A and B are shown apart, each in its own frame.
Chain A
């Protein structure tokens, strides 16, 4: 039980004065900034260790001010009643809002390119995410070249200049066969597509060679100083490396390349990680798992690889104490499905909120309903992991976005 909000007169003045000034200059914005909202919920899944039933959250200036079973207000606040409240969902793997060709297809090593510069902020992708309760998204470049560029982290809605959480989160490496898709060996020799890699071995080689050249400081003239700076960041371990890898040998190659060259990649994709759970655990790498199917047919695979093995990957990851999150589309559905096949309920909810926030290194300000964090919340009509529940609204930075 939290009894607080005993703001002194002096403090009220302190708050009111600038607000008053802002009201004079820009009334709409100020109205938001001074807004206080008290959300009364039947149940609050805070995802920082407690479930409050009932519970209340006080939002002030876009942040979570207090969380408790009941809050006594000393200042007026707009009151909203809902059934269930969970933290805003964080999707660590998306191409939402990415415009144009999502990869630099003329060359393989473009680590300095950034997705943030090509985001269409009014893309309908974001509306869909709002409907699903997704408030924070990491946008990755497409993986058609080997060093694809920076991923960026952004909010699904809000003022454009505040939506970008981190423009240069991690460097995306495509340790997979994806970069071979366009390249050709037998074509017009002047085509940009006549180049390595046309094959997976070539992908591994380009990574090995690029890092080797960077280490030796061989002054590869093809690369800009900006690119070399990013590559040096990978080599000295200061740049997070995102490796998009799905097949078991792709994951293994990514880990091996990291081990040989002094960095620990976070694996994105991980479709076949169930074949190498122990090996993955020993690597201490983290996994952004995007391969959970939410229906019974595991693609065209038959036998256990098409059913139990794939359905229960999150359960296996959890049992092995691998740090992972679920990512991709329909995350609430994914969490429900994971629970059905063996993931504990609390872990499932964490796997779409706090876990991705932790992996993206934004858990100080996002990922759970905790005082001091940003007010990104999702209101539901009931238990978040029941298929009968629906999203009522999504809140980002204290502002409610009604779903259709």
Chain B
């Protein structure tokens, strides 16, 4: 049975490629998918983020995607595949940072109004910029590039790869997320409505209600419940995927009370897909409510908190984990913490008690699920983008480092040729 299957695969694969090549003829002129190399990457251990680690494993990469993952003894090196051997090294999925500001222009905040659903940041992406080149050396292959937290609603962010290519190559999804900031930074104590915390909650609710009403009108029209087509309002257009729960809202929210209002307003009242995208200070104390609602926490960049009750310094991620939160990762808020230090954020979380394997899956598949891009990235599974790190060992051990990085099946960093940067 197995043999037959293999035979089938080998006979049809070249044909498939020939077909792909022809179909892509027009596109391939721009030098994408069709011409990508095929690799058999052999390592001592594969951390797939989709099940148990594979000892002495091979990852087959073709056409920018992962074709298969398994034991080297099972897979071998099929004809036409270049063998890449990293003896005694680990392979793992590329890291994902759910909170980054270095994907393009650092001009992040439009500050006149408290809510800015009219703004989007994919017009100012700079693919593979200097910050991202260094990020790759730290193993980061996907970022959630978002507007700043200068206002309650900073605008729409972009999910993008850190690797080279033009804008359309690197974007995973745009609009990728909505950015909302509660308390702290947007608290302006002057000017417009929303100068204080009650005002900000009011403003956020009002804006989301306006968006929800707009989406409902269009839904009603498209379902034939109302006859007249609503007018297109560019300012509210991107609320459609948000209220359809196709994209999440990433929330600058930290401290117990603020996270509590995040849960209440954005989840309970607005029924949005919510990502807690700081969750620092004493927010971990509301873990029960977070678990009840199945909401992911992308904690950071602040990693620690001094607990006055017992005089102890707590690791924030470890405190969440201790209370049962499993949908959990770290962030850098780059450039607050340099983009390449994402793994170091996790390393310090492990230092305070976060489970090492959870840290690996946290920075990969859990972050991908939170951002709703786990169909593309986050684990080493057939069909997903070939975003692969080769490391000298566990990425959350500070003695280890990244040796090679593949994004979409292309080697974008290799210390054998490039100098080791991190």
Binding site for B on A (CB under 8 A): 177, 180, 183, 185-186, 189, 194-202, 204-205, 208-209, 212, 216, 247-249, 252-253, 256, 276, 278-279
Contact = CB atoms under 8 A, between A and B. Distances in A.
A196 B113 contact: yes
Nearest to A202: B110
Given A248-B126, A249-B123, A198 B112 contact: yes
B224 interface: no
Contact of B104 (A186, A209, A249): A249
Given A205-B118, A216-B231, A279-B166, A189 B108 contact: no
Contacts of B166: 276, 279
Nearest to A208: B234
A260 B147 CA distance: 23
A333 B296 CA distance: 60
Given A200-B124, A205-B119, 6 more contacts: A185-B111, A185-B150, A186-B190, A201-B123, A202-B116, A209-B234
Contacts of A249: 104-105, 123-126
Contacts of B191: 185-186, 189, 194
Contact of B112 (A183, A209, A247, A253): A183
Contact of B111 (A198, A204, A216): A198
Contact of A209 (B108, B118, B120): B118
B327 to A, nearest CB: 30
B188 interface: yes
A253 B123 contact: yes
A201 B145 CA distance: 14
Contact of A200 (B105, B234, B235): B105
A202 B116 CA distance: 9
B113 A201 contact: no
B210 to A, nearest CB: 16
Interface string B143-154: 000010010000
A198 B190 CA distance: 17
Interface string B225-237: 0000001101100
B235 to A, nearest CB: 7
B107 A199 contact: yes
A19 B235 CA distance: 65
B155 interface: yes
Contacts of A212: 232, 234
Contacts of B124: 200-201, 249, 253
A117 B415 CA distance: 61
Nearest to B166: A279
B167 interface: yes
B217 interface: no
Interface string B213-246: 0000000000000000001101100000000000
Contacts of A189: 191-192
B121 interface: yes
Q: 4 smallest A-B Cβ distances: which pairs?
A: A185-B111, A199-B110, A201-B119, A202-B110
Given A209-B235, A249-B104, A276-B166, A201 B190 contact: no
A201 B120 contact: yes
Contact of B167 (A196, A200, A247, A252): A252
Contacts of B111: 185-186, 198-199
Nearest to B119: A201
B109 interface: yes
A199 B109 contact: yes
21 contacts: A177-B105, A180-B107, A186-B188, A189-B192, A197-B110, A199-B107, A199-B108, A199-B109, A201-B107, A201-B124, A202-B119, A204-B123, A205-B110, A205-B119, A209-B234, A209-B235, A248-B126, A249-B105, A252-B167, A278-B30, A279-B166
Contacts of A208: 118, 234
Interface in B156-171: 166-167
A194 B112 contact: yes
Tell which of A194, A205, A208 has the most Cβ of chain B within 10 Å: A205
Contacts, number: 80
Interface string B114-143: 001011110111100000000000000000
B107 A195 contact: no
A177 B150 CA distance: 18
Nearest to A218: B231
A253 B232 CA distance: 21
A279 B121 CA distance: 20
Given A201-B119, A204-B123, A177 B107 contact: yes
A194 B111 CA distance: 9
Nearest to B105: A200
Contacts of A216: 231-232
Contacts of B110: 196-199, 201-202, 205
A212 B234 CA distance: 8
Tell which of A194, A202, A279 has the most Cβ of chain B within 10 Å: A202
A196 B112 contact: yes
B233 to A, nearest CB: 9
Interface string B247-275: 00000000000000000000000000000
A195 B107 CA distance: 16
Given A201-B147, A249-B124, A252-B123, A195 B112 contact: yes
A365 to B, nearest CB: 38
A209 to B, nearest CB: 6
Contacts of B126: 248-249
A204 B107 contact: no
A247 B123 CA distance: 11
Interface in B266-289: none
A185 B167 contact: no
Interface string B173-209: 0000000000000001011100000000000000000
Contacts of B125: 249
B124 to A, nearest CB: 5
B157 to A, nearest CB: 11
A177 B232 CA distance: 27
A175 B150 CA distance: 23
A211 B191 CA distance: 29
A256 B113 contact: no
B187 to A, nearest CB: 12
Contacts of A248: 126
Contacts of B105: 177, 200, 247, 249
A246 to B, nearest CB: 12
Nearest to B118: A205
Nearest to B155: A201
A199 B105 CA distance: 10
Nearest to A180: B107
B120 A204 contact: yes
A163 B180 CA distance: 55
A187 B125 CA distance: 30
A195 B109 CA distance: 13
A209 B235 CA distance: 8
Contacts of B116: 201-202
A334 B116 CA distance: 43
Contacts of A183: 112
B272 to A, nearest CB: 22
A183 B118 CA distance: 18
A201 B121 contact: yes
B122 to A, nearest CB: 9
A280 to B, nearest CB: 11
